[in-house]
Amino acid sequence: MPLFGLAPTEWQAVQLSLLVAFWASLLSLPLAVLVAYALARWQFWGRQLLNICVHLPLILPPVVTGYVLLLVFGQTAPVGRFLNDTFGIVLAFRWTGAVLAAAVMAFPLMMRAIRLAIEAVDPKLEQAATTLGAGPIRVFLTITVPMMAPGLVAGVVLAFAKAMGEFGATITFVANIPGQTQTLPSAIYAFLQVPGGDASAVRLLVLSVFISVLALALSEWMARRVVHGTGQ
């Protein structure tokens, strides 16, 4: 009997979407924290340019972002050819490329949530810890991170939800290959294009909504636990 009433091809799309969203969120997190901290705390030449570049995926059509990824990371593109020849990494038309596309599209949401959380931390607290002899890394880990934790959780969940629902950039960069690059949104789109595919599309739609609601509920619970643990 198909798991949860899903056919094997439908279940493959769900599994791949969860895998892509997980890795996209996890791999984006360190860079998102670094960029968010830089924009929130540092003054440097090109700061505004960096801010604009980071937010570009939010305002560009997703298909444009996917095409840019194809031009840069395609197998015949300079970066894509270098990665393939040097490390054996192929991104275009592979599930790893879906991770990259989802990460690029979700990154601005994650970074923005983390940046707002960092800006809400009183710099005087960090300065006080510094005057007491704590180094920058220790100040960040013991003062900044605990106080920005709710925003960190929110950013990760937003990125995960965005990665789960990413369609335009993904289908442009890695196509819609069942069992290889077909994520949940791509599968819903594919089923809507064939006669008799409505039932499969509805099943995936309901499951997609369920996963999204579950992720939001989990993020709220985690945020409350973090706030309670830090005494904020």
What's the CA angle centered on 122, arms 116 and 124, to 5 degrees?
Answer: 150
Chain length of the chain: 232
> 């995926």: which residue's tokens?
57
Q: CA-to-CA distance for 3 and 9, rounded, in angstroms? A: 11
Q: What is the pLDDT of residue 137?
A: 81
Domain ranges of the chain: 3-230
Q: CA-to-CA distance for 160 and 110, rounded, in angstroms? A: 9
Q: For residue 231, what is the DSSP state?
A: T
Crossing angle for the helix pair 8-41 and 47-59, to the nearest 10 degrees: 160
* Rg of the chain over all Cα atoms, to the nearest angstrom: 20
> Looking at domain 3-230, which CATH architecture does it have?
Orthogonal Bundle (1.10)
Q: CA-to-CA distance for 34 and 169, rounded, in angstroms? A: 24
Residue 39, amino acid: L
pTM of the full structure:
0.86
Show pLDDT as tens, one digit a residue, over the chain (232 residues).
Answer: 355 567 778 888 888 999 999 999 999 999 999 999 999 888 888 889 998 999 999 899 999 999 999 999 988 888 888 988 888 888 888 899 999 999 999 999 999 989 888 888 888 887 887 887 777 788 888 888 888 888 888 888 889 988 988 888 999 998 888 888 888 888 888 888 888 888 888 888 888 888 878 877 877 776 666 556 555 5
Q: CA-to-CA distance for 70 and 148, rounded, in angstroms? A: 35
Evaluate whether 190 touches 176 at the Cβ level (below 8 Å): yes
